[in-house]
């Protein structure tokens, strides 16, 4: 069975964009592959989080993934910082990573632009840590978006370079992949762009019914179409896209027909959309409540994942140490 590795950044609550753009594919993949899903808490240190926030964010993300259906009996779910072999491999990979190539990475240059006062070495070596995360389990496939393609290219480079330097065929080159040809893009409700944490237009899985309703009712609309079958402007298209994602196809058809006949009442459509989003979120919300108040269960899941991930990582490091020339242990 092929191995899949994917990291999850602990950066707050999951929203509908995260669910339909990423979490849903994790749930599908765990049925077909040997999956390692980890919470990338070491990666998040580049922005120096407060210890209490870091701990809370890791717990939150774990509870939310479990609530969505990521299953510890099917996938290995673990916290990155529980696996000490990862920084050891990171160290070895850093010895063969060159400053020039790291400085050329687009996401690094972007971070430097955004945060010129915090250009730390962790930021520069983000691609080597990511490569260590992936190749430590000999991943065949890594589900990533376009923005991570360059980091994946680096991971392949580092795997290849290790093999060349030590004249072995040890690490395989991980492939980037996506479950569908067309990436799902969940739009925001503020007229343009996609749903995101930083843009403040997100509906979170944890949002209660009245919060969802408030957010949906505020969605940007217009005066309505004036000619039949008119092309939808972006804000309207976005509401329809959301409806397509969360509602029954017949509901979408109903409002689409109304739009095409110039009889659409956006208020009715929004009420329906809010109800459908709530129907989708309610069971997940209940499970988030359950998991986030069950500290013992969360620890148990993290421990189970850590044991399996450590086993896999330790096997790799034992080989790597031997290949590099350290004494066998």
Q: Which residues are identified as catalytic?
A: 111, 194, 197
- Give whichever of 122 and 196 is closer to ligand AMP, judged by the CB atom: 196
Question: DSSP readout, 252-300?
Answer: HHHHHHHHHTT---HHHHHHHHHHHHHHHHHHHHHHHHHHHT-HHHHHH
Q: Would you count residue 196 as binding ligand AMP (CB under 6 A)?
A: yes
CB of 147 to ligand AMP, least distance (A): 8
| CA 180/CA 298 separation, integer angstroms | 31
Q: Does 232 bind ligand AMP (CB under 6 A)?
A: no
Q: Is 45 in the site for ligand AMP (CB under 6 A)?
A: no
Q: Is 21 in the site for ligand AMP (CB under 6 A)?
A: yes
Question: With binding defined as CB under 6 A, does residue 22 bind ligand AMP?
Answer: yes
Torsion of Cα atoms, 100 then 104 then 109 then 111, to 10°: -80
- Contact between 187 and 242 (Cβ < 8 Å): yes
Residue nearer to ligand AMP on the CB measure, 122 or 224: 122
Q: Pick from 29, 86, 195, 320: which binds ligand AMP (CB under 6 A)?
A: 195
**Which residue from 58, 79, 139, 186 is in contact with ligand AMP, where contact means CB under 6 A?**
186
Name the DSSP class of 50.
Answer: -
Cβ–Cβ < 8 Å for 86, 319: no
- Residue 64 CA to residue 291 CA, distance in Å, equals 8
Please give the helix or strand (H or E) that residue 78 lies within, else none. Answer: strand 76-79
Q: Tell me which residue of 299, 300, 312, 304 sits closest to 86, measured CA to CA.
A: 312
State which of positions 122-161 bind ligand AMP (CB under 6 A): 145
Residue nearest to ligand AMP (CB): 21
Q: Assign residue 151 a region: left if phi > 0, alpha if psi is -120 to 50, beta otherwise?
A: alpha
Nearer to ligand AMP, 145 or 267 (CB): 145
Which of 10-18, 119-127, 227-235, 254-262 is the region at the interface with ligand AMP (rule: CB under 6 A)? 10-18
The interface region with ligand AMP, picked from 78-86, 109-117, 192-200, 269-277 by CB under 6 A, is: 192-200
> Among 16-24, 28-36, 43-51, 297-305, which window interacts with ligand AMP (CB under 6 A)?
16-24
- Considering only residues 299 to 318 of the shown chain, the ones binding ligand AMP according to CB under 6 A are none
What are the phi and psi torsion angles at 318 (to 5°)? -65, -45
The binding track of 93-112 with respect to ligand AMP, each residue x by CB under 6 A or -, is --------------------
> Would you count residue 184 as binding ligand AMP (CB under 6 A)?
yes
> From the CB of 194, what's the least distance to ligand AMP, in Å?
4
The SS3 assignment for 79 reads: strand
Nearer to ligand AMP, 9 or 48 (CB): 9
- Interhelix angle 234-246/249-260, rounded to 10 degrees, is 150
Q: How many residues bind ligand AMP (CB under 6 A)?
A: 14
- Nearer to ligand AMP (CB atom), residue 220 or residue 308: 220
Q: How far is the CB of 198 from ligand AMP (least distance, A)?
A: 8
Can you tell me the distance from the alpha carbon of 143 to that of 90, in angstroms, rounded to the nearest whole number? 21
- Single out the residue of 112, 107, 97 nearest to residue 155, CA to CA: 97
Report the interface residues with ligand AMP, using CB under 6 A. 9, 11, 17-18, 21-22, 145, 184-186, 194-197
């Amino acid at each position: 069975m092929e191995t899949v590795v994917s990291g999850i950044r602990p950066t707050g609550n999951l929203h509908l964009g995260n669910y339909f753009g990423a979490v849903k594919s994790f749930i599908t993949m765990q049925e077909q592959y040997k999956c390692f899903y980890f919470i990338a808490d070491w990666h998040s240190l580049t922005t120096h989080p407060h210890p209490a926030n870091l701990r809370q964010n890791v717990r939150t993300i774990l509870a939310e993934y479990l609530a969505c259906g990521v299953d510890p009996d099917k996938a290995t779910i673990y916290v990155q910082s529980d696996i000490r072999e990862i920084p050891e491999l990171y160290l070895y990979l850093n010895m063969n990573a060159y400053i020039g190539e790291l400085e050329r990475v687009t996401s690094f240059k972007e971070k430097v632009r955004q945060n010129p006062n915090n250009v730390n070495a962790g930021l520069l070596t983000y691609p080597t840590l990511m490569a260590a995360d992936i190749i430590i389990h000999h991943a065949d496939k890594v589900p990533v978006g376009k923005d991570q393609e360059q980091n994946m290219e680096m991971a392949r480079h580092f795997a290849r370079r290790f093999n060349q330097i030590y004249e072995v065929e040890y690490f395989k080159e991980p492939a980037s992949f996506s479950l569908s040809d067309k990436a799902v893009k969940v739009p925001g409700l503020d007229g343009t762009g996609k749903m995101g944490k930083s843009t403040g237009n997100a509906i979170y899985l944890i949002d209660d019914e009245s919060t969802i309703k408030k957010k949906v009712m505020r969605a940007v609309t217009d005066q309505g179409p004036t000619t039949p079958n008119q092309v939808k402007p972006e804000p309207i298209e976005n509401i329809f896209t959301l409806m397509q994602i969360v509602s029954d196809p017949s509901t979408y058809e109903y409002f689409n027909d109304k739009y095409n006949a110039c009889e659409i009442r956006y208020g009715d459509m929004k009420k329906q959309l809010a109800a459908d989003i709530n129907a989708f979120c309610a069971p997940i919300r209940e499970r988030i409540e359950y998991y986030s108040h069950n500290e013992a269960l969360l620890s148990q899941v993290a421990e189970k994942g850590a044991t399996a991930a450590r086993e896999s990582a330790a096997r790799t490091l034992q080989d790597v140490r031997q290949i590099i020339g350290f004494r066998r242990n």
